[in-house]
Amino acid sequence: MSELFGISFPVENPIAVFLIVLLIILLAPILFKRLGIPHIVGMILAGMIVGPYALNILPFDRSIDVFGKVGLYYIMFLAGMEIDISDLKKNLTKSVLFGLITFVVPALFALLAGKYLLGFSLMACLLLAAMFASHTLVSFPIISRYGLSNRSAVNIAVGGTVIAVTFSMIILATVDSTYHESSGNTWLPMLLKMLFSLVVIFYVIPRISRYFLKKYEDGILRFVFVLAMAFLGALLTEFAGFQGVLGAFFVGLALNTQVPKLSSLMNRVEFVGNAIFFPYFLISIGMMINLRAFTQGWEGWYVAIVMSVSVLLGKFLAAKIFQWSTKMSDAQGSLLFGLTSGRAAVTLAVVMIGYNIIVGYQEDGSPIRLLNEYVFNGSVVMILISCLISSVVTEKAAKQMLLERNEQTQPDEKAHNILVPVSNPKQIDQLLHTAVMLKQSKDKLYTLSVVDEHAGMDRKQCSNLLNMAAHYAASIDAEFHQVMRFDTDVPSGIVNAVKEFQVSDVLVGIHHHTHLKDHPFGLKLRGLLKHASFNVYITRFNQMLDDTKRIVLMLPEKAEYEHGFSLFMQRSYRLCQQLHASAVIYAHPDTLQHIRQLLRRFDLKISLELNELHNWQNVPLIIDSLTEHDLISFVLSRKNTVSYAPLLDEIPLMMERLFPDKMVSYFYPEQTVFVENITTYSGPLSVPATHHHKDDVSLFTQILNDGLDAKN
């Protein structure tokens, strides 16, 4: 222990240790960004500088070790949470293929380098193969920061990681059991334990989670629960004899569909990881690096260089082989290499096990280890170099992929801003949450409160509503522009705000009416629909939107000719992706044909089912067969528009009276074409507008009357 200005080093006061770590987390990214060094590399270098083998400011004690391990598990857990499950299923074959390639190629490099360059035994070469073939997604936070975690290349890399790490763990368990047969860690018990762990992770935890997240809405309780499940999974796989990173990743996969990407819970998970746990992990890696060990001779440098060069060449060649075989772009190939070249936990686990296996003793009584101290120090240097290369390559590839995406974006693509009028405090959270999930990259979000003195709404009430909306928006890290308007009535205030802020979509909510004869929309909403031609979304959500498993779209005949139809379909697909829900569409055959043409323009990554709907008399039967996890979305229209039919006016009444417990939304598309008597149009709109049958309206009226009588 040394002293400077009366202060003893390394610092042992826990408050001082935590303060120093926080200062590193705060200042290191700022300093290294100015030097052009990626922040991940900066954190590792900062840990090396303050660690016991450099300035010796911080001790590598139990707290650093624990938080570092938590950070690693957190990275793998977040990788499982953010992966696009539907895309992973679609690219499952590619993920398995890449996993095999990225395991076999580096393993061959390890066997050759271990035997011919380092002179290792067969068992030592096998451990070296486990070290080289496995990898850790150290640079995954970079992918999250650039918003690329749902890209196919990323999903393939993450899926390949599971394959490579699993096979590496099998090699490790095989070698370890060879020297410790009495430990009981044989194949059958290990497989049974792993099977038990997988059953708990993929069968028990999702069911517990679904119940807990539905029952408790407190944000802190939800976050702690999700975190507890992640480390329960890590503990279970460690119990089975595998690394805990696998368990954390598997729990992330198990909870993937239950935690939407754009939710307050996901925002908390990402925030805590990026603020505390990820930096702790990177700092802990830096603190383990002992450069002094390489001043004692050339052999340590030789082993470190052979290991580092061999593993990077193996991973690079594996990524390139897969890129060439699947015709991926150079940026995607570089991303695969960047994500799979980093290493940490598995490498340390392998080298520690090999270091602790004693195969004999020298004449002076010193132990002969399966992996000697040169390999131990070389592996730490290999971790440093691989993390440096991984972060640099991943960042460069991510930027290149963003450029490619921007080049493919249509130059005339414009923003479609969304306005959310707020009047009911109970509906604010759901409306804002829905708006965020509908939002595309260029769209702006607005919250509106109209001061309508005739209705008794004063400025203070409107301000309180906007403050509630701002509080929820902050919890999900979403930017909403607050608007307060003084107007003669609410519909006029909304219409004027739409014009002023160039809004294309208005999102409003309704609630269940106790009086069955009341129209569910109310006077204000009906007034808005009468005088507005922009897109209007009307929602009635009786439960959390996050519980949705399917979105069922009911489209009227000729809906495809409405001006806002294409944007509605695009937003509906996006909502399905955000909720990990499938889409079921009921529409006229001509409308379905138009939808198929739209699908070719969209990068669709959802499960889709198309059904022909020739007669709307069957709609009540279809709705009755749906479950509580289905969201029904009707496309309606205003009078004198090309897709209007009188029966569409009865849909909200039918849903209110017969299906009050169903989750439902109504969409009135932007409509600039209005049909007046015998108006004709050129092109596809030249069809007669009077194509709906009165029999349908009569039947709906009968259904409503029967339903009302049954209620009474």
For residue range 357-416, list pLDDT tens digits in order.
877 777 777 778 888 878 877 887 888 888 889 988 998 998 888 777 655 544 445 678
Specify burial of residue 492 (Cβ count, 10 A radius: 0-12, 13-18, 19+). Answer: middle
**Average pLDDT estimate for 11-19:** 89
Q: CA-to-CA distance for 540 and 535, rounded, in angstroms? A: 17
**Average pLDDT estimate for 59-79:** 86
DSSP label at 582?
Answer: E
Ramachandran class of 556: left when φ > 0, alpha when ψ lies in -120 to 50, beta otherwise? beta
**658: pLDDT confidence band, cut at 50, 70 and 90?**
confident
Burial per residue of 563-593, b for 16 or more beta-carbon CB atoms within 10 angstroms, e otherwise: bbbebbbbbbbbbbbbbbbbbbbbbbeebbe
The 10s digit of each residue's pLDDT in 117-176 is: 988 889 889 989 988 998 888 888 888 878 787 788 888 998 888 888 888 877 877 777
pLDDT at 635: 92
Most confident among 50-59, 235-244, 471-480 (mean pLDDT):
50-59
Tokens of 72: 């690693």
Could you tell me the CA-to-CA distances from 522 to 16, 451, 542, 703 in Å, in that order?
A: 61, 18, 18, 22
Q: CA-to-CA distance for 56 and 76, rounded, in angstroms? A: 30
Q: Minimal CA–CA distance to 227: which of 202, 209, 246, 204?
A: 209
Could you tell me the CA-to-CA distances from 545 to 431, 437, 575, 659 in Å, in that order?
A: 10, 11, 10, 17
The 10s digit of each residue's pLDDT in 487-504 is: 878 888 898 999 899 899
Helix H, strand E, coil C: the string for 170-223 is: HHHHHHHHHHCHHHCCCHHHHHHHHHHHHHHHHHHHHHHHHHHHHHCCCHHHHH
Q: Is the per-residue pLDDT at 304 higher than 80?
A: yes
Tell me if residue 326 falls in helix, strand or coil.
helix
Strand pairing report for 550-554 and 582-587: parallel
pLDDT at 696: 47
pLDDT at 513: 56
**54: pLDDT confidence band, cut at 50, 70 and 90?**
confident
Q: Minimal CA–CA distance to 461: which of 469, 451, 471?
A: 451
Helix, strand counts (H, E) of the chain? 27, 14
Is the entire prediction scored with pTM above 0.85?
no
Q: How many CB atoms lie within 10 A of CB 46?
A: 24
Q: CA-to-CA distance for 256 and 234, rounded, in angstroms? A: 16
Same fold, 83-278+296-401 and 415-540: no
Q: Is the per-residue pLDDT at 704 higher than 80?
A: no
The 10s digit of each residue's pLDDT in 219-260 is: 889 999 999 999 999 999 888 877 788 888 889 989 988 888
Q: Which helix (H) or strand (E) holds 450?
A: strand 445-451
Q: Are 539 and 434 in contact (CB under 8 A)?
A: yes
The 10s digit of each residue's pLDDT in 606-617 is: 788 999 988 888
Hey, what CATH class is 415-540 in? Answer: alpha beta
pLDDT at 709: 47
Tell me if residue 2 falls in helix, strand or coil.
strand
Tell me if residue 8 falls in helix, strand or coil.
strand
Q: CA-to-CA distance for 344 and 264, rounded, in angstroms? A: 30
Q: CA-to-CA distance for 3 and 544, rounded, in angstroms? A: 58
DSSP label at 117?
Answer: I
Q: Locate tokens 């999250």: which residue?
A: 144
Specify burial of residue 141 (Cβ count, 10 A radius: 0-12, 13-18, 19+). Answer: buried
pLDDT at 518: 62
- Fold designation for 83-278+296-401: Na+/H+ antiporter like fold (1.20.1530)
Domain boundaries, the chain: 83-278+296-401, 415-540, 543-661+677-712
